[in-house]
C-alpha cells in the first residue's frame, strides 16, 4: 500500500488545510476524550499541532488522520493526538497567592501535627507540582516538622514524562522566588545551558499519575488541597460540573479547592465557600 500524502496545494499546518467537517470531527473526538470544547478560533491551533502526524501515519487529510486514530491499529496514536491537543503552557509560581495560601495551610497543619497533602489535578509539565513541593519542603527544611505529599496528574502521557524529568527552560522560572530557585534547582551547563533541573531529592518526593478527569476517578486518598487551575476555561458547563463534583469527593471536609484566578466555581457546584480569589473551602459534614 502506497502511503498517502497531503495534497500539494494544501499546507497542513494552515487553517485552510483542515476542512470544517474534519475540524468538527476532531472537536467531537477531543470533547469525548478529554472534555475540551474547541471553538472555531482554535482551528489553526489544531491544524498546527496535528499536521506532522499526518505524514507519520500516512494520512492525506485530517479526516483520514482521525480515521487512523479512531479505527486504526493499536499503535498509540490516539494517546498521541490527545497529548498534542491537551498540552497547555505553564510556569513556576504561576498565580502566587495560591502558593502563599498553601504555605499558610501547611504551617497550620504542622502546628497541629497533621500531615498535609495536595493534588495538582491537571499538572501539565509539572511546574505547579514542583512549586508546591518547594514551598512545603522549604517549611520542613526550615525546622518546622511537616509530613507532606504532592501528587500531580494529567491526561497526557507525554507531559507527565516531561514532568518526571524535571528539566525546564530557565525562562519558565522567572516568577519563582530566588531563594527557592537556588535551594531546589540546578543550573544547566554545556548542552543544558539555559535549562534548570529540579533537584533529584525533591523529584523523588512527588508522585505523578495519568488520570482523565472526565472519566470515573481511580482510587485515591483524600487531600487537604486540590488544584484545578486554568483548565476549566476549556470545558463547557456540564463538563465543569462533572469534573469538579468528582474531584470534591477526594477533598477532605474543610479542605481547599483552587481554580485559576480568572475562573469561578459559582453556579457550578454547591457546598463550597469562597476563601479568597480562586479558592474555595469544602463545607464540613
Region 245-270 average pLDDT: 95
Q: Which of 86, 115, 137 is the last residue of a domain?
A: 86
Q: Looking at the structure, do residues 248 and 170 belong to the same domain, yes or no?
A: yes
Q: Looking at the structure, do residues 81 and 110 belong to the same domain, yes or no?
A: no
pLDDT band at 259 (very low <50, low <70, confident <90, very high): very high
Q: Looking at the structure, do residues 143 and 71 belong to the same domain, yes or no?
A: no
Domain CATH code at residue 75: 1.10.155.10
pLDDT digit string (tens) for 94-130?
Answer: 999 999 999 999 999 999 999 999 999 999 999 999 9
pLDDT digit string (tens) for 160-216?
Answer: 999 999 999 999 999 999 999 999 999 999 989 999 999 999 999 999 999 999 999
Q: Is residue 7 assigned to a domain?
A: no
pLDDT digit string (tens) for 27-61?
Answer: 999 999 999 999 999 999 999 999 999 999 999 99
| Residues taking part in catalysis | 49, 154
CA-to-CA separations, 96 to 50, 54, 241, 255, in angstroms, rounded: 33, 40, 26, 19
Q: Is residue 206 assigned to a domain?
A: yes
Burial label, 280 (beta-carbon count in 10 A; 0-12, 13-18, 19+): buried
Q: Which of 66, 86, 106 is the last residue of a domain?
A: 86
Q: Where are the alpha helices (DSSP H) in 58-193?
A: 62-71, 77-86, 97-111, 127-141, 157-165, 178-184
Q: Is residue 9 assigned to a domain?
A: no
Q: Looking at the structure, do residues 67 and 107 belong to the same domain, yes or no?
A: no
Q: Looking at the structure, do residues 201 and 65 belong to the same domain, yes or no?
A: no
77-86 helix and 62-71 helix, angle to the nearest 10 degrees: 120
**Which DSSP state fits 18?**
S
Helix (H) / strand (E) containing 273:
strand 272-274
The total domain count for the chain is: 2
Q: Looking at the structure, do residues 57 and 37 belong to the same domain, yes or no?
A: yes
Q: Which of 62, 86, 110 is the last residue of a domain?
A: 86
Q: Is residue 8 assigned to a domain?
A: no
Question: Which domain does 106 fall in, by range?
Answer: 97-282
Q: Is residue 4 assigned to a domain?
A: no
Amino acid at each position: 500500500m502506497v502511503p498517502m500524502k497531503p495534497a500539494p496545494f494544501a499546507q497542513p499546518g494552515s487553517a485552510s488545510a483542515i476542512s470544517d467537517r474534519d475540524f468538527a470531527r476532531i472537536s467531537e473526538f477531543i470533547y469525548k476524550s478529554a472534555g475540551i470544547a474547541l471553538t472555531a478560533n482554535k482551528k489553526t491551533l489544531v491544524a498546527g499541532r496535528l499536521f506532522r502526524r499526518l505524514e507519520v501515519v500516512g494520512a492525506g487529510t485530517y479526516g483520514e488522520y482521525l480515521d487512523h486514530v479512531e479505527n486504526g491499529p493499536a499503535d498509540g496514536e490516539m494517546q498521541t493526538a490527545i497529548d498534542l491537543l491537551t498540552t497547555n503552557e505553564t510556569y513556576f509560581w504561576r498565580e502566587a497567592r495560591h502558593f502563599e495560601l498553601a504555605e499558610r495551610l501547611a504551617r497550620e497543619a504542622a502546628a497541629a501535627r497533621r500531615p498535609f497533602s495536595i493534588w495538582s489535578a491537571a499538572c501539565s509539565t509539572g511546574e505547579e507540582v514542583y512549586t508546591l513541593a518547594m514551598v512545603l519542603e522549604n517549611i520542613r527544611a526550615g525546622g518546622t516538622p511537616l509530613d507532606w505529599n504532592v501528587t500531580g496528574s494529567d491526561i497526557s502521557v507525554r507531559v507527565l514524562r516531561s514532568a518526571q524529568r524535571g528539566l525546564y527552560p530557565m525562562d519558565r522560572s522567572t516568577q519563582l522566588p530566588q531563594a527557592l530557585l537556588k535551594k531546589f534547582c540546578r543550573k544547566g551547563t554545556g548542552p543544558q545551558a539555559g535549562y534548570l533541573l529540579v533537584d533529584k531529592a525533591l523529584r523523588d518526593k512527588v508522585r505523578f499519575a495519568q488520570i482523565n478527569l472526565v472519566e470515573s476517578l481511580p482510587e485515591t486518598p483524600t487531600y487537604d488541597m486540590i488544584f484545578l487551575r486554568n483548565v476549566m476555561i476549556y470545558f463547557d458547563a456540564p463538563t465543569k460540573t462533572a469534573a469538579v463534583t468528582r474531584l470534591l469527593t477526594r477533598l477532605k471536609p474543610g479542605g481547599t479547592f483552587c481554580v485559576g484566578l480568572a475562573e469561578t466555581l459559582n453556579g457550578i457546584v454547591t457546598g463550597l465557600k469562597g476563601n479568597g480569589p480562586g479558592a474555595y473551602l469544602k463545607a464540613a459534614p
